[in-house]
Amino acid sequence: MTYNINLGKMLARCARIYPERLAIIDENRRVTYRELNEEANRLAHNYMRLGLSKGDKIGFLLGNCAELVGAVFGALKMGGVVVILNWRWAPEELWRLVDHTEISFLVYGKEFSEKIDKIRPRVRNVKHYVICHGTGRDSISYESLLDGGSVEEPDVEVGADDVASITHTSGTTGFPKGAVWTHSSHLWGASLISAGADRRAEDTEIVGYSLNGTPFFRAYLVNVLVGSTAVFPVSFDILSLLRTVEKERAVFAWFAVPTWIRILEHPDLRSYNLECFRKAQIGGQIIPIELKRRIKKSFPELALFDMYGATEAGPISCLYPNEAFRGQGCVGIPCQIVEVRIVDEEGQDVPKNDIGEIVIAGPNMMRGYYKNEESTQKVLGTGWLHTGDLGKMDEDGYLYIVDRKVETIISGGFNVYPAEVEGALLEYEKIKDVAVIGIPDPLWGESVKAIIVPKPGEVLTSQEAIDFCRERLASYKKPRSVEILEELPRDASGKVLKRELRKKYAK
């Protein structure tokens, strides 16, 4: 008999092994693995009762909470494809992505009712809306969706190679791309993270915490894999975070650089007993060695795991705690089962310590981009995933990140693609030309800067341009600063010389 492994079975496994262990702690609930699995099963049966079937896309616009976990695993158990929608997206972005991904069922929190009401008239495929923690117009309540559903496992054959989720990332063409992930690729990624960062069943972990409110989905899969307890902090502020770590005796957390900086600078840091906090994962950008030194000074016993990964591939390499200060840009040894090469423009391997593009292969990669064959071929056409990152590998097999081949801006751990921001700004009637670049930022790593050329005769202020982006882009994508010029520097072929702009405005 062939055993089809899938994400839903991982949750059922935890419910059998650790039925009374807490799976989730959030602001309102403390949920055991048994309760979580039963909730997911009820929802799976009622999804199908409403007409959903294997392969249907189910969208989720919720903050990090137990209901989000239950609703997502309910979808996975009946073979649905999970699409986590970023609550920071503006209504225009949300509408385009819901339509493009062909979502037919949408679960949302009452705090996002205004956004949902704005997109309803334009959405073509959504047949049912489910509201969590409240009531809404023409929406089913989450609580009523739990009524009458069976707690037995759904009788749906879900295989390892079936699609589990579509994760959106911004696109260099200006339209976000959806990375298609199977159950198997998710499980391989979670396995590599759990092994690389020493995740254990007995640990209580801070999950889904980010100053940008990162959706929980891929992070929480590691908890289900090992059977540990996830804590969702009440709010995204440092004081709440410190209180939560102390109260729940959290052992592990993943924080991006901006969060670490604010933790270290918080005046009340020494007021809390954080001896429980023994392991942490850091990533999202190149980590300055000086920041690592500051972290170790404040948390001497903390084991710091520096993990490098990509939206399309999950974990790629890990720098272990005993090697934290090996060198600037060092991100460790490639993870088990992940092959890493450094190649030149022709795809040929470069010598040790020479700089080239990082390409990878392994079972933890996406299948491709949803309804975007051109972009899929661009990054996967050679059989290797082209990360767009420039790096090198030393004689001992350690990987170093040097720069990015593409123009991606990484702000607070989030990818921002200049073409998307430029496209939004060019919709403004006063703007003739624009170039968007990333400039160094002490808190976010990089911040978004727009260099704008107004149309002849138009008077444009920096704040006016920023305000125009508010309704069109998520807040982390909109420019934090704007420069007004008469013209942009271009080469002989007419291409904007962004390298010159970055050099000019870097300071």
- Which of 103, 130, 159 is at the close of a domain? 159
Binning pLDDT at 50, 70 and 90, where does residue 209 land?
low
pLDDT in the model for residue 494:
55
- Looking at residue 351, its amino acid is P
Q: Is residue 266 part of a domain?
A: no
pLDDT in the model for residue 144:
92
Q: What is the mean pLDDT of residues 414-439?
A: 85
Helix (H, G, I), strand (E, B), or coil: what is residue 18? Answer: coil
- Which of 144, 159, 174 is at the close of a domain? 159
For residue 252, report the phi and psi dihedrals to the nearest 5 degrees: -135, 150
Among 114, 311, 78, CA closest to 217: 311
Burial of 348 (0-12, 13-18, 19+ CB in 10 A): exposed
Q: Is residue 292 part of a domain?
A: no
Give pLDDT tens digits for 253-286: 988 777 887 898 899 999 999 999 999 998 776 7
Q: In what order do the strands lie in the sheet with 128-132?
A: 140-141, 128-132, 103-109, 57-61, 81-84, 163-169, 177-182, 368-369
Binning pLDDT at 50, 70 and 90, where does residue 174 land?
low
Helix (H) or strand (E) holding 498: helix 498-505
For residue 42, the enclosing domain spans 1-159
- Which of 128, 159, 190 is at the close of a domain? 159
**The residue to which tokens 């979502």 are assigned:** 103
pLDDT in the model for residue 451:
95
**Number of domains observed in the structure of the chain:** 2
pLDDT in the model for residue 229:
96
Q: Is residue 25 part of a domain?
A: yes
Give pLDDT tens digits for 136-173: 888 999 999 998 889 999 999 999 999 999 998 754 44
pLDDT in the model for residue 278:
95
453-463 b/e (C-beta count within 10 Å ≥ 16 → b): bbeeeeebeee
Q: Is residue 465 part of a domain?
A: yes
Give pLDDT tens digits for 116-133: 999 999 999 999 999 998
Give pLDDT tens digits for 72-110: 999 999 999 999 998 888 898 899 999 999 999 999 999
Q: Is residue 351 part of a domain?
A: no
Is residue 215 pLDDT above 80, yes or no?
Answer: no
Q: Is residue 449 part of a domain?
A: yes
User: Any idea what the CATH number is for the domain that residue 4 is in?
Assistant: 3.40.50.12780
Mean pLDDT taken over the chain: 90
Q: Mean pLDDT lowest for which of 194-208, 212-226, 286-300, 425-439?
A: 212-226
Better pLDDT: 192 or 213: 192
Is residue 288 pLDDT above 80, yes or no?
Answer: no
Percent of the chain with pLDDT over 90: 64
Give pLDDT tens digits for 302-335: 999 999 988 899 899 999 999 999 987 899 999 9
What are residue 436's DSSP bridge partners?
450
User: Any idea what the CATH number is for the domain that residue 475 is in?
Assistant: 3.30.300.30
89 vs 159: CA distance, rounded Å = 32
pLDDT in the model for residue 402:
80
